[in-house]
Copies of this chain bind each other. A is one copy, B any other.
């Protein structure tokens, strides 16, 4: 998920202070300290990487779900079956970030000797950015592969309406010299969050990434949000949108179907309090050392140098970047200048802090055109 553009104006807050605030908010709902720490880690990581749609911005929704009893704030995932290679867990509708952290750690620990291991969970909740869990495996020297199904927003190729989730796939791998390879992508052509951002900013959508309620492609955010749907990655059938459609089904099969969770249209939307989503999630870790790939990270470099050496496409193009690099750059920037929030997001979080008597941390003004002075 590449970072969204920084807002023209907004506020910035210390990452450590936002993390502490986030943890305190989650604890204030009755969540045990260690679980709240996982939630804060994952949400603030999304903020830092510029994936604001999956960061602390979502806290008001999580809080509403917790207060409605739909999110079980004290629940811990329980292992209920599977094998030594692929474990099956019940997430008990608890915090997704906590279950996700426990499950990727479980897969990493077993992959260390087995070479490859996986953990599957049913009754799982929204877990933020899938890339966080894949990156945890990469930080341990492994390849991480993480998938989740999500509530329906995407039309199948040749069809219309919200049937499949944006069902993301995240893959991370360490390299020796070029930072971490991190692919963290929805299998749709665009996310719902980006449509909302486009509407808020009065921008048109790219062609062929979404449809209106009648099933015709539409670049108008309002028409899409009013009963429309997203197109799968690839867009229309002629530009291979059937591949994104197939990938969305693949993710649902490997998560919801395999884990015994909800699938397709049965996944309860995250932002309602109608009931738990009962998502399915899959966490895989592969240990290159165990498969005799001792020089794995240098061989990743060799591949990444191939793409970095490609001449830039014309049109003032800034040149090739490695997946995950823009997010890593954004994190480096925000660790220095603070987490940047636009005024609407800041107001929403400040209101939440006020309501739960955990005031949002002190902020300083942010202006995009002053960015160079801070760098």
Contacts and interface: CB of A to CB of B under 8 A. Distances in A.
B302 A264 contact: yes
Interface string A233-259: 111001110111111011011101111
B306 A265 contact: yes
A97 interface: no
Given A82-B115, A159-B310, A163-B307, 6 more contacts: A86-B290, A171-B246, A183-B250, A249-B304, A257-B293, A260-B292
Given A157-B320, A303-B252, A239 B206 contact: yes
Looking at chain A, what size class is its interface with the partner chain? Answer: 35 or more
Interface of A: 2, 80-86, 88, 113-118, 120, 143, 155-161, 163-164, 171, 173, 181, 183, 185, 189-190, 206-209, 211, 214-216, 233-235, 238-240, 242-247, 249-250, 252-254, 256-260, 263-266, 286, 288, 290-293, 296, 299-300, 302-304, 306-307, 310-314, 317-321, 323
A247 B170 CA distance: 10
Contacts of A292: 80-82, 88, 260
A161 B311 contact: yes
Given A207-B239, A323-B246, A115 B86 contact: yes
Contacts of A117: 85
A196 B114 CA distance: 44
A324 B368 CA distance: 49
A181 B246 CA distance: 9
